[in-house]
Structures are given as structure tokens and as C-alpha cells.
Copies of this chain bind each other. A is one copy, B any other.
Amino acid sequence: MTSPSLADHDTIRAVQWQGDCLRLLDQRKLPFVEDWLDCRSAAAVAQAVRDLVVRGAPAIGIAAAWGVVLAAQGGDDLERAMALLRAARPTAVNLMAALDRMHACMAGGADAASLTRTAQAIQDEDLAANRAMGAMGAAWLQRGSGVLTHCNTGSLATAGFGTALGVIRAGYAAGNIVRVFADETRPWLQGARLTMWELQRDGIPATLIADSAASHLMKSGQVQWVIVGADRIAANGDTANKIGTYQLAIAARHHGARFMVVAPSTTVDMATPAGDAIDIELRDPAELLGYAGQRTVVEGARAWNPVFDVTPHDLVDVLVTERGVITQPDVDAMRAVFGNDGTN
């Protein structure tokens, strides 16, 4: 009997190209039902993105790329299909990047075969980047580490393996991680619903906590690393991520735990000088006025529902991208890796 390998902890692929349709694991139904939706047109993919069947910035971008392939196979108007896909989640940067790449491919002929190769490359490169980040990030974890993560940054949100959750996969498989804690991540509960499912499914024992219990947990000495993803990283290393991330960074610093951000280089935006230039999306207060579809707050109540917050770079100990690891990121360290031309 051989000991479990990394592959044993990496079995989930939520976005699967089938040659003539795109098969998506329906994340709306997780964690209780594992249901798959087959999309046979760009319109069906756009609908799935809009309905949150597929979520997570890299996963959305990959799904959209396959949506363009489906349009080409069906003889649809490709420009129209791309506009439809682009509008499905208008603020998703990875969606735009994937569609831009498909568009560049179209300029070279737009046959289904070359579009298929490009979509496959987008998917394969994401998985490869995640594996590279997993290995690099895990190398920072001392043996016996306890880790805490936030939201869902796993196979469900990417081509597979995940970003922050990829580091946790790699660190667990290497025997360096002995305890994994997951924030439930209000208001959407991605930690409770998705991360706990994903870790259980892949044989990594994990413990759920309330978001507000993180500091109490850190005080107990059970957390050596907080490991999170990112939605956008400014030129100085300031990191926008799911609401609650900033609070974890403050608590980690207070308790001497270390703070790691794991994100592909496409997340880095050298044209944004610092975090205060990042616009924080405010979502419908209704998301805070109920829980799992059940209203909990008096009618007429107000709520403030920012989706993201910004962690200043001086609270980030380690930033992992597929291009390498930056410790104590600042504008000089960032420029050394990403240049300063404002492009990704």
C-alpha cells in the first residue's frame, strides 16, 4: 500500500469540455447534490455564468472560452456570442481576459479547431499555474502547520487544484499541514458550502469556524498561516479579496501568524498604484438580511454589504504567483516581477 499522493487530494474538475458540450458542476446545488449541467451553446454558457452554476473568476473565464468554441461549432455569429458571454458577469476580469484571447485567436481565422486549442490552453495554463503556486506556497509552510482560509479558492473556482486551496492541497499532501480551518464566509457562505465540501471530497480534514471566531482561534496557537486568494492586486501589493480578508490579516499580525496571498499573475494590476484606487463593489443589502434564503432581519432595516476589502501590502508576508514568490511585497518587489507598464 502506497501512501496517499497529491493526486488523491485533487479529484475535482468543475468545468469539463466534452468535445461537443461543456459540462459544469452546478455549484448552486452544492454541497448536497452533485448535479452536472451540459451547455450546448454560448447562450447556455452565458446563462450558467449569470445563474452562478459556475463561479470563481478563473472558472468563469474558462467556461466563457468554451462558450466561444460552442458558438463556432454551431455556426453562430461569434461576435454576438462573445458579447453575450462578456455581459454575463460584467465585472469579472478573468472573463474579459479569456474572451480577449479568444478574440485574438479569431483574428487568425476563427476555425473551431484553433478556437478549441486556445480554450484548452486557457484551461491547461490555469491548472498548471495553480499547481506551480501550490508547490511554491507549500514550501513556505513549516511541518506541523495549522492553516486558516477564507471563501472558496479551490478546484471549484478554477480549472482545478485552486489557488490558496491549492497551496493547502500541496501542503497537506507534503505532510506540512496538520490542521485546516475554513471561515464560513458571510454573506454567501462559500467557505461553509463549497470549501468544506471540496476538502471533504478530496480527503483533507477541515474544521469550519464562524468568521468572527478567527482571532479566538489564532490566540489558541492553532493557526500558523492564513492563506487566501485575491481578486485584484495593486502595483504596491495591496490586495483586494473577499470581505473579511483584511480582518484576518490584522488578526494574523496581532498573533504572529503569517499571511499568504495566492493568485495568478493575471490578478496583478500594475496600472492601479495602490489599494485605495480599487473600487469596492457594494452588493444588495438583501444578502445580509437573510440566511440561506430565509429572512432574518426586520423589514425596513438597512445593511451595508461590501463584497471585497483591501489588505494593505504591509500585512502580506508572502505573495505567491505562478511567476514566483514575493516576500513583503512593495512597489519595488512587485515591479521586479511584473514590470511597471500597466499590463499583465
Interface on A for B, CB 8 Å cutoff? 31-32, 181, 183-187, 189, 192-193, 196-197, 200, 205-217, 219, 243-244, 246-247, 250-251, 254, 280, 285, 288-298, 300-306, 309-310
Contact = CB atoms under 8 A, between A and B. Distances in A.
B250 A254 contact: yes
A254 B251 CA distance: 10
Contact of A294 (B200, B280, B292, B303): B292
Contacts of A306: 213, 216
Contacts of A214: 247
Contact of A186 (B184, B207, B295, B297): B184
Given A186-B211, A210-B211, A219-B309, 5 more contacts: A200-B298, A210-B288, A210-B305, A215-B246, A292-B294
B246 A219 contact: yes
B200 A186 contact: no
Contacts of A216: 243, 246-247, 280, 306, 309-310
Given A186-B210, A211-B212, A291-B294, A304 B193 contact: no
A291 B215 contact: no
> Secondary structure of the A side of the interface?
mixed
Given A254-B250, A291-B292, A208 B302 contact: yes
A212 B211 CA distance: 6
A208 B304 contact: yes
Nearest to A183: B212
23 contacts: A31-B297, A184-B288, A186-B211, A192-B297, A205-B302, A207-B302, A207-B304, A208-B288, A208-B297, A209-B304, A209-B305, A210-B305, A211-B212, A213-B243, A213-B309, A215-B250, A215-B309, A217-B304, A250-B251, A254-B254, A291-B291, A291-B294, A292-B294
